[in-house]
Structure formats: C-alpha cells, structure tokens
Amino acid sequence: MIRDGECLDDLQNGLFIIQKKDGFKFGIDAVLLADFAKDAKSKNTLDMCSGTGIVALLLSAKTDTRNICALEIQPEMAEMAQRSVVYNSLSDRVRVSAGDVREADKIYGRGAFDKITCNPPYMRLGGGIKNDRDEKSVSRHEILCTLDDAVGTASRLLVSKGRFFMVHRPSRLADIICSMRLYGIEPKRLRFVCPSPSKAPSLLLIEGMKDGGRELKILPTLYIYNGDGTYSEEINKIYGREVE
C-alpha cells in the first residue's frame, strides 16, 4: 500500500497517513483547523482542498461524525488520501473524491452538509511560480481554487445554519470577511495564531454560519511557542503530547 517515494507517518492518535517523502506534506495549519472545527456537531462533514486527507482523518479521530467526505482536485493526492483511509480501516466513515471544488455541488448536491472545513491555497496567483501545475504550487497558490471559489462552494453545499471552518493568512482577512458575507456565510468566531507572544499572527482560524446573524467573536490568541522556544501548553494538548 506504501509506494516508492512515499512514507507512512504516525499521527500519534492511533492513525497513520501516507505522504510523499519529497512532496507536499500537511502542516500545523491543518492540525489547528481540525481542532478548531471538532466541537461543532455534525452528521455530514466535508473537507475541501483536502490534500493528503489529513483534516478528514483527524476529524474521524476527534469527532463521532459518521459521514466525512474529502474533496481534492489533484487525482494523485486524492488517490493517496484514499489509501490512507483504507490503511486506517475508515472506509465506512471517510470517503475521498477527486474533483474540482467549483463543481462540488454536482458531486454531492446542494445542502448536503452541516459542516465544511477548508484549508485553501493562501496566495493569490502571481509571479514566481515555475510550474503552475506542480503539486506544491497548486496547494499554495490560487491556481485551481480561489478564495471566492471555496467560500461560494461552501455556501451552496451547506444547509441553513451549517458551519464553515477555514484556516488562512491574516493578510487576507478583509478578503475573507467580504467573501463570506457576499455568499451568505456570516463570520462568527475568529482566532489568530502567533508563532510566539512576541511575534505577529501568521495564521487565522475563522468559523462562519450560513444565514447566521451578524456578530463576530474574537477568541484569545493561540501561541505555537512559548517565549523560551518550547511548545505552548495548548499546542501540546492539540497534538496529544504528554509533557512532564
């Protein structure tokens, strides 16, 4: 099941994920997104821009949701994510599809989900991309999926009062809020993520509700590292690390 050029990484929660040794690998943003979304109850969850399937796998461990779908536009990555599902004996709960986010309502049908997570490409399409079909470029730049594509699709796929969770860059916050309101998803909770107490935010986590009322709650900042360079207590808890 593990092919040449691939590795099997332990998620430290009883699950494993297949990834390319030298390809795109999941980062802390995906781990934080899954943790941020875990407490919202759901019967049908979709993870868009799923990549290696990490968020769907983590949600299967963190929640009791019986139906978790994962959508990834790159067929090779989707196939690899599906092998991770099979390896972890999760085929009865997690289903991976290869497809374009912009066509997702044709795959699943409108109003099919009560919770959607998304870790989209962060960077606007611009110069400096050597190969616009390279796996890493597609994952990082808005080549095949823009912010509006992700938010608009989430709006079509969510039931009324359904929840949308996204991780993104703070520099795109104005774009994110404008896009969410444009497509009828009201921002409800916002949390900034800082490398350490002395550093500016490097990520943000945002939750929206389709057809929700206008009120945004700003949550306490999440710090990845303490001032002395050790991981923060909350990060250790999220990763399930036991610290003496």
Structural domains of the chain sorted by starting position, each given as residue range(s) with its CATH number in brackets: 27-238 (3.40.50.150)
Q: Please give the full DSSP string across 109-125, using - where no structure is assigned.
A: -TT-EEEEEE----BPS
Q: What is the pLDDT along the chain (244 residues), one digit of tens a residue?
A: 899 999 999 999 999 999 999 888 899 999 999 999 999 999 999 999 999 999 999 999 999 999 999 999 999 999 999 999 999 999 999 999 999 999 999 999 999 999 999 999 876 666 444 455 555 555 564 466 899 999 999 999 999 999 999 999 999 999 999 999 999 999 999 999 999 999 999 999 999 999 999 999 999 999 999 999 999 999 999 999 876 5
Say which residues have a Cβ less than 8 Å from residue 105's Cβ, sequence separation at least 6: 153, 156, 157
Give dist(CA 157, CA 111) in Å, integer.
4
Helix residue spans in the chain (DSSP H): 28-37, 54-62, 75-87, 104-108, 135-140, 147-157, 173-182, 233-238
Helix residue spans in 88-193 (DSSP H): 104-108, 135-140, 147-157, 173-182
Token digits of residue 153 = 């699709």
pTM for the predicted model, two decimal places = 0.93
